[in-house]
Amino acid sequence: MPDRSILCCVVGPTAAGKSALAMALAERHGLAIVSADSRQVYRGFDIGTAKPSSSDRGRVPHYGIDVVEPTERNSAHRWAEAAEGWIAAATRAGTPPLVVGGTGLYVRTLVQPLDAVPPLDASRRAALAPWLATLSRSDLVRWCQRLDPQRAHLGRTQLSRAVETALLTGERLSTALGQAASPLREVRYLLVDPGAVLATRIERRVQEMLAAGFLEEVARLQRGLPAEAPAWNASGYGVLREHLAGLRTRRDAVERVIIETRQYAKRQRTWFRHQLPAATVTHVDPTSPDALAVAEAWWMAARSSTNGETG
């Protein structure tokens, strides 16, 4: 069983400023960062997933980055199992863990057991996978609106899982998740969101990624990876592959990457708004002058509660 100390999670939409705030907090208090990012797990997908720099990783221990081959299919359950080990390792090393990321389902699976989720027959799932792969996100949304409407606002991976669960088991995944057992541990969330300026931050980040070699990274990865590798689902990679294939102009591709990233951020915001218990959430605007002070007060309050319960 995992330990019963309070787990601290820094969450929020992409480009919100989670990583910078978490780094500042980690450096001040000697923490380790456990990445809860479904894209940063893949080796080689670096610039387009905004992985922490080698300098950042040298200053603060990081777990959960570069742990999956691009051709492997990862899952929230697999990540959560691994994260338990990373959290334990960080604790043993004397660097308290800080879970940081925007993949809400990863965090939820770590905090909330999913025993109620109906199991999927592996052979039937494999037979269904090629058909699911042919569907656009809008097609998946339409299927999900009919089969499991509560999950129709989510991203492609979650939409696919909801559709296949309904088709293969006759049960709604949203219903199963709602019946999950009691949380494994107590948790406190620091929800990082800069508000209306997020759209501008996303555009700036995409331009910075391109300047850092995002397009060149995609070209390099294409030379060694099959087109169906799961890691290609990360935002922006598919669009830049279309540009390299001559199907989009550079200008159109850049605009599309920005739009896709903003849509992803919108889905993240929706998830965090509806899935996190309000009593466990502290909101912070990373552009505010007192953002780090708010983060530190949040961290110290959680640690005080943990010490009070276990001391």
239-296 pLDDT per residue, tens: 999 999 999 999 999 999 999 999 999 999 999 998 899 999 999 999 999 999 999 9
Which residues lie closer than 8 Å to 102 by C-beta, 6 or more apart? 11, 12, 13, 14, 16, 18, 36, 37, 268
Same domain, residue pair 17 and 91: yes
Q: Quickly count: other Cβ atoms within 10 Å of residue 308's Cβ.
A: 8
Amino acid occupying residue 112: Q
Computed on alpha carbons and rounded to an integer, the radius of gyration of the chain in Å comes to 19
* Model confidence pLDDT, tens digit, residues 169-185: 888 887 776 655 555 67
Same domain, residue pair 202 and 166: no
Tell me whether residue 1 is in a domain: no
Same domain, residue pair 128 and 221: no
Same domain, residue pair 149 and 244: no
Instruction: Give me the CATH number covering residue 157.
Output: 1.10.20
Phi-psi region of 31 (alpha: psi -120 to 50; beta: other; left: phi over 0): beta
Tell me whether residue 152 is in a domain: yes
Tokens 């509560």, residue located: 150
Same domain, residue pair 235 and 291: yes
Same domain, residue pair 206 and 268: yes
Same domain, residue pair 157 and 205: no
Give the CA-trace dihedral at 89, 93, 95, 96, to 10 degrees: 50
Q: What is the pLDDT of residue 245?
A: 97
Same domain, residue pair 190 and 170: no
Residue 167 CA to residue 169 CA, distance in Å, equals 6
Give the residue from 304, 307, 292, 302 showing the smallest Cα distance to 25. 292
Same domain, residue pair 85 and 206: yes
For residue 298, CA distances in Å to 23, 279, 281, 282 come to 15, 13, 10, 7
Tell me whether residue 2 is in a domain: no
Same domain, residue pair 164 and 219: no
Tell me whether residue 173 is in a domain: yes
Q: What is the pLDDT of residue 288?
A: 97
Backbone angles phi, psi at 96, to 5 degrees: -50, 140
Q: What is the pLDDT of residue 251?
A: 97
Same domain, residue pair 168 and 146: yes
Q: What is the pLDDT of residue 44?
A: 97
Parent domain of 131: 122-178
Structural domain ending residue among the three candidates 138, 161, 178: 178
**What residues of the chain score a pLDDT lower than 50?**
1-2, 309-311
Same domain, residue pair 43 and 85: yes
Q: Quickly count: other Cβ atoms within 10 Å of residue 118's Cβ.
A: 14
